[in-house]
Amino acid sequence: MPRSDPRAEPGPRRAAPRGSRRSTRLAAERPRPDPHERPGRRARVPGGGAEPAEEATPEAPVNRADTAGPPRLEPRPIHRPTIDDATSRAFGRPSGVDGPSATESRHEARSDPGITVREPDPILAEAFGRPDGSTDVLQRDPRDQQRSPRTETPPADPWRDPAAPVTLGNPVDEPAGNSPATPATALPPLTTREVLLGGRVSWRALATLGLVAVLIGVAGGLIGRVTAEVYESRTSTKVSVAQVAGEEGDAPRGEVVEVARAVTPAVVSIRVRVGNQATTGSGVIIDEAGYIVTNNHVISIGARNADAEIELLFFDGSRASATIVGRDTRTDLAVLRTDADNLTVAEFGSSSEVQVGEEVIAIGAPLGLDRTVTTGIVSALNRAVPLSGPGSDTDGVIDAIQTDASINPGNSGGPLVDLAGRIIGINTAIQSSTGGSIGLGFAIPSDTAARIVQELIRSGRVDHPGIGVTARTVVNEAVAGAQIANVAAGSPAEEAGLREGDVVTRVAGREVFSSDELTVAIGELPVGESVTLEVRRQGRPLEIQVTPRILS
């Protein structure tokens, strides 16, 4: 009874899907395998025909869905390239062999493939070939023919081969037997000629060489002595420094030293503190009662605050408090007073006697550095300088002395003295684009300072004369001066007949070139005394008499 196909699955068969007529036709044309035939694999040989079936191998599992559906197409035949005759003769099977291998007899009986070995190039054979008659495959180094590399080992010399191991040196070989050592034969001592020249130079040559050396040495010594005597005065100078012990004060002192020693103890450093704010400046003691002159802008912050503290630092390092006696915002002057004792006092000089070019000394505490002394000259006189700045109520114009002595912030209120030690000015302002000294310092003249200080000590205030006008500077080809911009009603200027547009060119004989110079000139006038003003009105010169008075 025939065996059923184990790949068949029991149960009803699945219908083939629609549209698969071509697949059905191809499957019908394909031969069905014999179910009674033992499974195996057929091999093809180049000569056509099939080889005997090899041992059967288990088939891969069959997908049930594939057996039920249409059969699959076989893979395409393998493309075999064409083989040329030479390759077939070299690598093909021998004649009469159809299988994958052949017996030894058959292998030996195969035909010659026809491969020949070509003779080498003569040049290469001469360079790399074996010598004639040699049968060795690998040639040995000719130098190694007489030694055996197996028995000889290279010396372990670390200086020759860094990779050689370190070994101990061989011991000293003792002489055979106990024979006594042969004593050394004493040799004659070597002579100087043998040591120096090896005994190959005659005594006459040695004597000649020594004589030449002596002559060269003598000649060199003589030349050196003569050269030293001739050029000694040009190349060497003998200097002797003598130190003589003397008492203090014996050395000559300059005028600046003497003035600084006399005036510096009268200069104080002033510090005004209001809460977290503080200002520093300088001042000078002018009276033994404790009166000190300084600038208004130094102490103005303390004058406007009742809880302000004013502290003085003296030359000897002592400190004391001070109070404000009076101040003047028009001239930037103020007077303080302290209860300290044993004060050094400085005296006022006359600023009217000061000349341009005269040497002056500025003393103060620039940038808080007390007891600082700088020197310079008087650069100009009667320089109208307006005074105003942040944090101060000073608003006026001073008739200043200009100096190139270094004045910096902190010098304000300190004295400018002459070489006699007299005060000729109170340092008050500088002109600088950087805030430091550039040689343009200004001081209030001592004549003005002495008058204002006396008024402040007596009454605590100062009244300034005026004529009741405001002016602006005018400079053109026709005239230069102070042009009247406004005339106050009922003022001395209105009573004198001044009009708006008039240009004042001179006040009491003093030339006026700007509105600041007009302010300074009027401030110096005596109250109640008539003075002459030279005016240009519509190009015509006029002289007007005016009497200054105190204006509220």
Q: Which residue, among 480, 452, 465, 483, has the nearest Cα to 522 in the 3D structure?
A: 465
Q: Is 446 a catalytic residue?
A: no
Q: Is 347 helix (H, G, I), strand (E, B) or coil?
A: coil
3-state secondary structure 497-520: CCCCCCEEEEECCEECCCHHHHHH
Burial class of 65 by CB neighbour count within 10 A (0 to 12, 13 to 18, 19+):
exposed
> What letter does residue 368 receive in the DSSP assignment?
G
Angle at 91 between CA 86 and CA 93, to 5 degrees: 110
Q: Can you tell me the distance from the alpha carbon of 545 to that of 529, in angstroms, rounded to the nearest whole number? A: 10
3-state secondary structure 53-64: CCCCCCCCCCCH
Q: Can you tell me the distance from the alpha carbon of 261 to that of 203, in angstroms, rounded to the nearest whole number? A: 88
The residue behind tokens 């030479």 is 86
DSSP line for 187-206: PPPPPHHHHHHTT-S-HHHH
Give me the residues paired with residue 267 across strands: 284
313 within 8 A of 350, measured Cβ to Cβ: no
Q: Check 269, 282, 297, 418 and give the catalytic one.
A: 297
DSSP line for 136-169: -SSPPPGGGTTS-TTT------TTT-TTSPP-PP
Q: Can you tell me the distance from the alpha carbon of 450 to that of 331, in angstroms, rounded to the nearest whole number? A: 12
Q: Which helix (H) or strand (E) holds 303?
A: helix 296-303
Q: Is 332 a catalytic residue?
A: yes
282 within 8 A of 267, measured Cβ to Cβ: yes
Q: Check 269, 300, 412, 515 and give the catalytic one.
A: 412
Q: Is 297 a catalytic residue?
A: yes
Q: Check 269, 300, 328, 332 and give the catalytic one.
A: 332
Q: Which helix (H) or strand (E) holds 495?
A: helix 492-496
CB 494: neighbour CB atoms within 10 A?
16
Q: Which helix (H) or strand (E) holds 335?
A: strand 333-338
CB 61: neighbour CB atoms within 10 A?
7
Please give the torsion angle defined by the CA atoms of residues 312, 313, 319 and 323, in that order, rounded to the nearest 10 degrees.
Answer: -10
Q: Can you tell me the distance from the alpha carbon of 342 to that of 33, in angstroms, rounded to the nearest whole number? A: 145
327 within 8 A of 272, measured Cβ to Cβ: no
Q: Which helix (H) or strand (E) holds 400?
A: strand 396-403
**Cα distance between the two ends of the chain:** 155
Q: Can you tell me the distance from the alpha carbon of 270 to that of 498, in angstroms, rounded to the nearest whole number? A: 45
Radius of gyration over every alpha carbon of the chain, rounded to an integer in angstroms: 65
SS3 content of the chain, % helix, strand, coil (to 5): 25, 25, 55
Q: Which residues are catalytic?
A: 297, 332, 412
